[in-house]
């Protein structure tokens, strides 16, 4: 039953809409349909907003039409506005996560539960069940480096000027070029430019929701957070190396921040959205940060993900130069034969939920494990910035055990960082022994293992793999063997410590809850530890969720393309997956071709983009629905799944410009008239049909896929939104030689609308004025109250015109009305050589000035005891931050001769906010010889 608020808003909606005799009864009663129709008419929508604002006495911003794309989200927004006015209005909103009281009693308290998981890992592990098989069967998932990644022979001794690679194998996964962009409503053009890590995390996040039995998107989302741990920037390096015209999509598809931000956008998660990079501990630090937000009540649920991909040889070259990799690419944790680690790749996503439980109700809640304790710290000043510290690791383990109210003897299993490096393993074992040795006995040894022996070291994603393995150990109550372990390293002192590194499967006896610890240590000294506890569960249902395999409708988006290709993102993204039900192999070739042509052969699923359900102009020939296909597949009913080769020729022959239903179909055909050639005809004749043809060809050029296009369907539905809209407008503008508004597809949402606007503009001879897209005003931050006062103790800064590091000079600069924007110096890059007054010129810039920080190349390396060799490889941002941080500490008067002597340095944290990766791009263009300082 609709709430009072919903009904009142619906009345406002009905008041501004006129009955349409052509509407079906369904459409007249559909609030979403009405809202969408009203939203496309600026005048009518303004009237609707005014009615709502007056009736409910709430302010509604002028950009609401762009911000709220559905009636349900608009209802939620009005509800929030009314709450701010302390009006008690109830709304009917579907909750993705069961909300619970934030306060607890002695018998009822909150827990942070892991309720959903998904993964793609070496060994063809497409889900947690597959990964468990890899672990318990002792599968070595290390394989030869795929030829698509790089040819290791080209980097052998004497063949490479940039360095050598002495390893030939690694833990690789398949299918990084595949992505179901249609499911996530992302155009092929944008999907091609997306970091494969973004694509993989999107699919795994949806799978994590499915494994938890929860809906992925709801309106009640303000306390849903997204945290991603990642240290891999190889996509940026790869794109820098490939010759390609810079485009708008790159701003949203290369920065690390977008790994988390893309998930928040897709799943409508309005809570914290952070990507965390602490090197190899990134994933587990992300888990700890997410858990902290949930404990503070800032999140009720979180997606926590991590990924790592090996796309270019540069990182491997640097690691080989540092001697960090094992000759045979195998991790041998704590073993006498350990000589380095082997690289691996993959991704893992967890869904965390804040649950309330009591002893009576705990077993009734969906949960795979609970997080009992977590924490992070840093080594501080040790031997070097990359050297591990047993003192720091010991303090971390003790601190997490203490905050979790867990005694060392209660921990049954420890998933160690265990990379297989002599120094790292020795120091880690020393810390483990110092914390656990006094509480263990022959009857209660500490079981220690590391999944890196199976799949390799996934670096930034390693902590997620460790946490997943520990969770599976608790669930199955078994400890899988650690591969390659034969004899403890002679550098490790294990005397007086009862422990065991299993070399075969061990069963954890009893039915009491089990505790497991997971450790992860970053190259830069950031450490993390998490303790999880097993929970009673419905084994049959949970086993099903662990082994569930989602069926994606994948397309291929090439990752490794030739740099010699004039358009490295060009070409047609071909769909390879065709589902045939109740079919026979004899009919395979005929029916596969038919499915690509789209003739409606019974028993086939034909996916068409650009049409909406219920559309009167949608193609009719589908004999079965996609939902039926999915259901049949899940129920293991008779069906056949096959892969077919790309059939570009058949596609090109099968699509004509317009069909009998008035819809337009097409593919990106290499021999068709280009939009630029068609533009001459458009400008000369101002023929409406020619305008339409130009717009359609531009749409297909942007989407780069075969689609069925209805001219009255919104361009956003087809996949042209956000940054694709910029490319669409720029392409038309360049072809026609006229100025078009940046808000083109928002003002004219369908192809018919755009065509009408262009025809009118060309007939009037008006070149049009360039308009700027309105900018959303920052929303006011809600006030918070706290018993603890947070004081700003010290400050330092460097800005253009105030480079001496003092806030006084910055203040003086502001008061003096100084304009510190200056011409870009040639020491940065030659701006004059790429400058063009034409705003839309390709591969050019239309600005010559910026706020430039002087002295960015200056650094006092001797003061910080950094060698000249290392400082050459140091990102200038690190150098500046070191000096500015020191100035801030001096300003705070807490800095002593031995560092932070005036306060307890164990409770001093470091948090850096940073975006951009210019230094990495710079190094690709000005290569430095590989060394141990190059970094992975």
* Binned average pLDDT, 10 residues per bin, the chain of 936 residues: 71 74 46 76 77 77 57 75 52 36 44 95 96 97 92 68 82 94 87 91 95 78 92 80 55 69 92 94 97 93 96 89 91 96 97 74 69 95 84 96 95 96 94 95 95 97 98 96 96 95 93 95 95 80 68 80 36 35 36 35 38 37 45 39 35 33 39 47 62 84 66 73 75 83 80 85 63 35 55 87 82 86 85 82 83 84 79 83 86 67 68 76 63 50
The predicted pLDDT at position 749 comes to 82
Q: How far apart are CA 540 and CA 436, in angstroms?
A: 35
DSSP E strands in 358-498: the ranges are 369-378, 411-415, 446-449, 478-479
Q: Please report the DSSP string for 405-418 in residue order.
A: T--GGGEEEEE---
* Among candidate residues 24, 49, 84, the one where a domain is terminated: 84
Identify whether 771 is part of a domain. Answer: no
**CA neighbor of 120 nearest in space, from 389, 344, 374:** 344
**CA neighbor of 470 nearest in space, from 532, 418, 541:** 532
Q: How far apart are CA 734 and CA 676, in angstroms?
A: 8
Residue numbers of the domain that contains 792: 788-798+857-936
The predicted pLDDT at position 705 comes to 60
Structural tokens at position 835: 């400058």
CATH number for position 403? 3.40.47.10
Say if residue 22 is in the same domain as residue 152.
Answer: no
**CA neighbor of 472 nearest in space, from 774, 234, 130, 908:** 130
Cβ-proximal residues to 271 (8 Å cutoff; 6+ apart), any chain: 221, 222, 223, 224, 225, 226, 264, 293, 298, 299, 302
The predicted pLDDT at position 88 comes to 40
Identify whether 98 is part of a domain. Answer: no
* Among candidate residues 84, 119, 141, the one where a domain is terminated: 84
Give me the sign of the Cα torsion angle 623, 629, 631, 633.
positive
Say if residue 56 is in the same domain as residue 128.
Answer: no
Identify whether 652 is part of a domain. Answer: no
Give me the sign of the Cα torsion angle 713, 717, 723, 728.
negative
The predicted pLDDT at position 876 comes to 86
As a whole number of Å, the end-to-end CA separation of the chain is 57
Q: How far apart are CA 319 and CA 456, in angstroms?
A: 14
Half-sphere exposure of 144 (CA within 13 A, CB side): 6
Specify the residue for token string 């630029």: 676
DSSP E strands in 54-135: the ranges are 109-120
**CA neighbor of 223 nearest in space, from 399, 114, 136, 352:** 352
Say if residue 514 is in the same domain as residue 597.
Answer: no
Structural tokens at position 129: 């069940």
The predicted pLDDT at position 429 comes to 97
Q: What angle do CA 569, 572, 574 make, to 5 degrees?
A: 120
Q: What are phi and psi of 811, to 5 degrees?
A: -65, -40
The conformational region for residue 97 under phi > 0 = left, psi -120 to 50 = alpha, else beta, is beta
Say if residue 26 is in the same domain as residue 139.
Answer: no
Specify the residue for token string 């869904």: 351
* Among candidate residues 612, 628, 644, the one where a domain is terminated: 644
> Crossing angle for the helix pair 390-403 and 422-436, nearest 10 degrees?
40
Say if residue 286 is in the same domain as residue 432.
Answer: yes
Q: How far apart are CA 32 and CA 35, in angstroms?
A: 5
Helix (H) or strand (E) holding 169: strand 169-170
**CA neighbor of 458 nearest in space, from 466, 446, 449:** 466
Say if residue 422 is in the same domain as residue 487.
Answer: yes
Specify the residue for token string 């009491």: 512
Cβ-proximal residues to 458 (8 Å cutoff; 6+ apart), any chain: 171, 308, 344, 345, 346, 452, 464, 465
Q: Which residues of 242-262 are buried (b: 16+ CB within 10 A; e: fewer)?
A: bebeebbbeebbbbbbbbbbb
DSSP E strands in 249-405: the ranges are 273-276, 301-308, 346-357, 369-378
Q: Pairing state of beta strands 273-276 and 515-521? A: unpaired
Q: Could you tell me if 390 and 428 are in contact, meaning their C-beta atoms sit under 8 angstroms apart?
A: yes
According to DSSP, residue 832 is labeled G
The predicted pLDDT at position 827 comes to 81
Structural tokens at position 144: 């030869």
CB atoms within 10 A of CB 549: 12
Identify whether 396 is part of a domain. Answer: yes
Give me the sign of the Cα torsion angle 707, 710, 715, 718.
negative
pLDDT tens for 262-297 read 999 999 999 999 999 999 999 999 999 999 999 998
Q: Pairing state of beta strands 178-179 and 555-556? A: antiparallel
Structural tokens at position 217: 């998107």
Q: How far apart are CA 240 and CA 917, in angstroms?
A: 11
Q: How far apart are CA 521 and CA 788, in angstroms?
A: 31
Specify the residue for token string 């990924």: 307
Helix (H, G, I), strand (E, B) or coil at 193: helix
Q: Could you tell me if 934 and 402 are in contact, meaning their C-beta atoms sit under 8 angstroms apart?
A: no
Identify whether 270 is part of a domain. Answer: yes
Identify whether 863 is part of a domain. Answer: yes
Q: Could you tell me if 288 and 375 are in contact, meaning their C-beta atoms sit under 8 angstroms apart?
A: yes
Cβ-proximal residues to 666 (8 Å cutoff; 6+ apart), any chain: 655, 656, 657, 696, 697, 700, 706, 707, 709
Say if residue 478 is in the same domain as residue 588.
Answer: no
Structural tokens at position 286: 């992300």
Q: How far apart are CA 572 and CA 575, in angstroms?
A: 9
CB atoms within 10 A of CB 57: 11
Q: Is the pTM of this model over 0.75?
A: no
**CA neighbor of 324 nearest in space, from 422, 254, 226, 446:** 422
**CA neighbor of 517 nearest in space, from 313, 851, 783, 287:** 287
Say if residue 586 is in the same domain as residue 461.
Answer: no
Say if residue 520 is in the same domain as residue 612.
Answer: no
Q: Which residues pair with 528 in a beta bridge?
A: 376, 520
Say if residue 599 is in the same domain as residue 543.
Answer: no
Q: Could you tell me if 218 and 95 are in contact, meaning their C-beta atoms sit under 8 angstroms apart?
A: yes
Identify whether 721 is part of a domain. Answer: no
Identify whether 67 is part of a domain. Answer: yes
The predicted pLDDT at position 121 comes to 98
CB atoms within 10 A of CB 725: 20
Size of the chain, expressed as the number of residues it contains: 936
Say if residue 324 is in the same domain as residue 227.
Answer: yes
Considering its fold, how many domains does the chain have in total?
4
Q: How far apart are CA 916 and CA 850, in angstroms?
A: 16
Q: What is the CA radius of gyration of the chain?
A: 30
Say if residue 306 is in the same domain as residue 415.
Answer: yes
Helix (H, G, I), strand (E, B) or coil at 269: coil
């Amino acid at each position: 039953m609709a709430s009072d608020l919903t009904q009142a808003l619906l009345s406002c909606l009905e008041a501004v809409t006129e009955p349409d005799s052509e509407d079906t009864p369904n459409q007249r009663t559909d609030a979403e349909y009405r809202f969408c129709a009203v939203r496309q008419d600026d005048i009518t929508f303004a009237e609707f907003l005014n009615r709502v604002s007056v009736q409910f006495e709430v302010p509604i911003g002028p950009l609401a039409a762009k911000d709220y794309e559905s009636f349900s989200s608009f209802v939620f927004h009005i509800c929030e506005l009314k709450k701010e006015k302390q009006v008690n209005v109830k709304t009917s909103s579907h909750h993705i996560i069961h909300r619970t009281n934030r306060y607890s009693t002695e018998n009822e308290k909150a827990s942070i539960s892991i309720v959903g998981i998904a993964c793609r890992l070496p060994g063809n592990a497409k889900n947690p069940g597959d990964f468990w098989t890899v672990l318990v069967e002792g599968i070595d998932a290390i394989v030869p480096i795929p030829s698509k990644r790089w040819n290791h022979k080209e980097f052998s001794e004497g063949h490479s000027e940039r360095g050598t690679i002495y390893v030939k194998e690694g833990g690789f996964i398949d299918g990084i070029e595949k992505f179901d962009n249609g499911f996530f409503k992302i155009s092929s053009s944008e999907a091609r430019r997306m970091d494969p890590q973004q694509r993989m995390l999107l699919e795994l996040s949806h799978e994590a929701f499915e494994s938890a039995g929860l809906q992925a998107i709801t309106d009640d989302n303000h306390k849903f957070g997204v945290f991603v741990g990642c240290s891999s920037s190889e996509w940026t390096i790869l794109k820098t190396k490939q010759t390609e015209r810079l485009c708008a999509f790159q701003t949203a598809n290369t920065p690390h921040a977008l790994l988390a931000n893309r998930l928040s956008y897709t799943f409508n998660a309005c809570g914290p959205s952070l990507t965390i990079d602490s090197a190899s501990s990134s994933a587990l630090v992300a888990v700890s940060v997410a858990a902290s937000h949930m404990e503070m009540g800032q999140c009720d649920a979180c997606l926590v993900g991590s990924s790592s991909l090996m796309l270019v040889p540069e990182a491997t070259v640097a690691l080989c130069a540092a001697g960090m990799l094992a000759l045979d690419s195998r991790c041998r944790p704590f073993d006498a034969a350990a000589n380095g680690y082997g690289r691996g790749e993959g991704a893992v996503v967890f869904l965390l939920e804040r649950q309330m439980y009591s002893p009576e109700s705990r077993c009734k809640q969906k949960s795979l494990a609970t997080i009992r304790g977590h924490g992070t710290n840093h080594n501080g000043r040790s031997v070097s910035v990359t050297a591990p510290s047993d003192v720091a690791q010991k303090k971390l383990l003790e601190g997490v055990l203490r905050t979790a109210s867990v005694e060392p003897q209660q921990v049954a299993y420890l998933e160690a960082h265990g990379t297989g490096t002599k120094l790292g393993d020795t120091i880690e074992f020393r810390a483990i022994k110092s914390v656990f040795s006094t509480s263990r006995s022959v009857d209660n040894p500490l079981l220690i293992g590391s999944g890196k022996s199976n799949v390799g070291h996934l670096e930034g994603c390693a902590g997620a793999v460790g946490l997943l393995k520990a969770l599976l150990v608790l669930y199955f109550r078994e400890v899988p063997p650690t591969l390659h372990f034969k004899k403890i390293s002679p550098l490790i002192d294990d005397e007086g410590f009862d422990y065991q590194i299993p070399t075969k499967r061990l069963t954890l006896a009893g039915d009491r809850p089990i505790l497991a610890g997971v450790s992860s240590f970053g190259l830069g000294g950031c450490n993390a530890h998490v303790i999880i506890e097993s929970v009673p569960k419905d084994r049959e249902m949970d086993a099903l969720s662990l082994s569930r395999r989602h069926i994606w409708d994948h397309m291929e988006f090439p990752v490794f393309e030739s740099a010699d290709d004039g358009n490295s993102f060009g070409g047609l993204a071909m769909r390879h997956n065709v589902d045939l039900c109740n079919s026979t192999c004899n009919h395979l070739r005929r029916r596969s071709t038919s499915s690509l042509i789209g003739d409606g052969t019974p028993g086939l699923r034909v996916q068409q983009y650009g049409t909406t359900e219920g559309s009167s102009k949608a193609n009719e020939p589908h004999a079965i629905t996609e939902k039926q296909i999915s259901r049949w597949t899940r129920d293991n009913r008779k069906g056949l799944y096959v892969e077919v080769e790309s059939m570009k020729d058949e596609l090109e022959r099968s699509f004509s410009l317009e069909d009998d239903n008035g819809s337009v179909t097409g593919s990106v055909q290499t021999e068709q008239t280009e939009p630029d050639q068609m533009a001459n005809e458009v400008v000369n004749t101002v023929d409406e049909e020619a305008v339409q043809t130009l717009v359609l060809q531009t749409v297909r050029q942007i989407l780069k896929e075969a689609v069925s296009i209805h001219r009255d369907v919104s361009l956003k539905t087809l996949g042209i939104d956000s940054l694709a809209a910029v490319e669409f407008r720029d392409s038309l503008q360049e072809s026609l030689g006229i100025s078009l508004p940046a808000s083109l597809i928002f003002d004219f949402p369908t192809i018919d609308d755009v065509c009408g606007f262009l025809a009118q503009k060309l007939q009037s001879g008006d070149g049009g004025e360039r308009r700027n897209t309105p900018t959303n005003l920052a929303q006011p931050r809600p006030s918070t109250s706290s018993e603890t006062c947070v004081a700003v103790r010290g400050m330092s800064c460097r800005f253009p015109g105030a480079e001496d590091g003092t806030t006084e000079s910055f203040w003086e600069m502001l008061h003096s009305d100084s304009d510190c924007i200056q011409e870009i110096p040639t020491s940065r890059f030659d701006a004059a050589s790429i400058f063009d007054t034409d705003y839309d010129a390709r591969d050019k810039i239309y600005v010559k000035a910026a706020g430039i920080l002087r002295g960015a190349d200056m650094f006092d390396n001797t003061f910080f005891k950094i060698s000249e060799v290392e400082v050459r490889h140091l990102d200038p941002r690190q150098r500046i931050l070191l000096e500015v941080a020191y100035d801030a500490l001096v300003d705070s008067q807490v800095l002593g001769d031995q560092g932070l002597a005036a306060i307890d340095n164990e409770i001093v944290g470091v948090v850096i906010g940073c975006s951009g990766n210019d230094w990495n791009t710079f190094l690709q263009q000005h290569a430095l010889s590989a060394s141990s300082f190059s970094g992975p």
